[in-house]
Amino acid sequence: MDVRWKQAAQYINPDMNWNDEPDTAQKPEDTTHIYDTTAIKASNTLADGIQGYSFARNQAWFKTALEDIEELSGAETAWLQYAEKIMYRQTQKSNFYDEGRAFVKCCADFGTAIMTRVDDIIRRIPSYKTQHLKYCCIDENPYGEADVLFRDFWIDAYKAASIFGLNKLPKNIKEACDKGNMKLWKFTQAILPVDRYDMDIRRPQGKEYYTVYWAAIEHDKPVIDGYFELKPFFVWRWSRNLDGGVWGSNSPGMMELPDIKQANSTRADYSRIVQQMGRPPVKATDGLNGMINLRPNGVTSLRPGEDFALVPVTGNPQGIGDDLERLHKAINEAYYTDFFLILSQNMEKQKTATEVAGIQGEKAALMSAFYGRLSAEFLEPMLEDLFSLELLSGRIPRPPESLMQQDRRIRLDMISPLAQMQRRYLMLGSSQQAVGEITALAQVNAQVLDNINFDQQVRDIADAYGLDKRIIYDMADVERMRQARARAQQQALAQAQQLRGLEVGSKALANVSKIPPELLRQAEGGMQ
């Protein structure tokens, strides 16, 4: 796996250092081997697209709710809204979004991504860090959840003293700190459940995870250890290995690595042939080096016996270009570039907005597998961790007594554009088509509409679009409004009937007044 990761880093993320340990000089990586940047651009587009569609800084992408509870009291609603506000504020103040992009890109390129979280007590915000896979080792529990992390990191003596305390460091690192030596020293951190391995450690109440640090120079003596209530790291695998391995697989970078390497080589060949066709090699008599003028209308004066000729270039750039285009298409499809650029790419510009929405929905459905893992292994655990962290720190106040007494669980729903797009496509695609056909039948027989619960359909649509439940009336309120509307309509109908009766009576009186008196007397006599 390490060899494939290194190759992926060379061609997809050439700035990533893949040495046995970080370069202390921090020099840029050599990129002279890169001729084709399609994979680099596709990887960046996917990272930006997933973050923009799933958990962007400037949009609502999650909301708080209670498990299996729709009706909330005013105090419960206010508390949930405040907790949600605090969580959004903390993610925006922290480096979560910056590290989140690197996290997504890492998983897309290498199949696995690891992020650690530290509670910054001084700044009162969580701090996140996406880890380099080369320096990490993970393990998982029987349920497939990664719950063990070993990671190597390198820091100078001064930073080590600020983190662990000078007196806890090995002698050599203390001396380096005193002398101001900026050499980097290797440390290792282990994080694991307290009951995972047979270790001679105590288990404080409420502490689920144990952590220990040691320096490589004195690896048999811990520098510091401690406990966590919450697991302080997240692991996302693009897909699972069938061999039971803990590392992810089938990511775009891993799947398309052969095409990426071939595209790089093909682009180099293509560029060389095109350059040779524009500036072909020259075979010339000895002594003409630098004397041949190949500029337009250039003249080269030759002495008797001197001669030169252009060497014909062999190769078909058109065939190489076609092969390169095929490779580019495969790479872009693997990274879902067409989905994230569907509104800006030249995709038959005559397509309607409805057709574009349909294409987006279909692509979103195809992305549901890895997005489901992104939500289950990263976004939801990260939000649950953040909620618990803010609650334990007191930045989120204690919940109302009604929630404490009934032990109601908090639910965090994903409402990002990608989540809504998948929900609309999967939940509403077939139902909307069915309702359309039923509506067509209703033009022949309107009674067929009695089979459809349109109230539920409206609520399903609102849920698929992530509509705030606070602006959706309860069914009891809807029934009251309908009854009030029916009463108002009945009163209006009764008033209209009374008005029509008065109108008829007034017209009859008017007609009587127009009858001649003698005809009225004759009519009265006849009645007698």
- Compute the average pLDDT of residues 509-521: 60
pLDDT at 524 over 60: no
* Residue range 315-342: mean pLDDT, rounded: 87
- 349 pLDDT more than 60: no
Q: Residue 333: how many CB atoms within 10 A of its CB?
A: 14
- State the average pLDDT over residues 195-220: 85
Q: What end-to-end distance do the CA atoms of the chain give, in Å?
A: 119
Residue at 64 is within a domain: no
In a domain, 440, yes or no: no
Task: Band the pLDDT of 347: cuts 50, 70, 90.
Answer: very low
Query: How many helices and strands (H and E) does the chain possess?
Result: 19, 12
**Span 228-253, average pLDDT:** 90
- The CB-side HSE value for 383 (13 A sphere, CA atoms) comes to 22
Q: Report the pLDDT value the prediction gives residue 309, as an integer from 0 to 100.
A: 84
Choice among 11-15, 52-56, 352-356, 386-390 with the minimum mean pLDDT: 352-356
pLDDT band at 184 (very low <50, low <70, confident <90, very high): very high
Query: If you average pLDDT over residues 456-461, what whole number do you get?
Result: 70
* Residue 192, beta-bridge partner list: 210
Q: Tell me how crowded residue 365 is: count the other CB atoms within 10 A of its CB.
A: 15
In degrees to the nearest 10, what's the CA dihedral of 73, 76, 81, 84?
A: -150
- Residue 183 included in any domain: yes
Q: How far apart are CA 278 and CA 270, in angstroms?
A: 12
Could you tell me if residue 321 is inside a domain? Answer: no
Boundary-marking domain end, from 182, 201, 230 = 230
The domain of 145 spans 139-230
In a domain, 343, yes or no: no
| Mean of the per-residue pLDDT values of the chain | 83
Residue 428 belongs to a domain: no
Residue 346 has pLDDT above 50, yes or no: no
Q: Which of 230, 253, 275 is the last residue of a domain?
A: 230
168-177, 427-436, 442-451: lowest mean pLDDT where?
427-436
Q: Tell me, yes or no, whether 155 lies in a domain.
A: yes
CA 322 to chain centre: 33
Cα 345 to chain center, whole Å? 21
CB 186 within 8 A of CB 174: no
Flag whether 156 is in a domain.
Answer: yes
* Per-residue pLDDT tens over the stretch 48-61: 999 988 999 988 89
What pLDDT sits at residue 372? 84
Given a cut of 70, is residue 463 above it in pLDDT?
Answer: no
How many domains are contained in the chain? 2
Residue 513 has pLDDT above 70, yes or no: no
Residue ending a domain, choose from 230, 249, 267: 230
pLDDT at residue 219 tops 80: yes
Percent of residues, the chain, with pLDDT higher than 90: 40
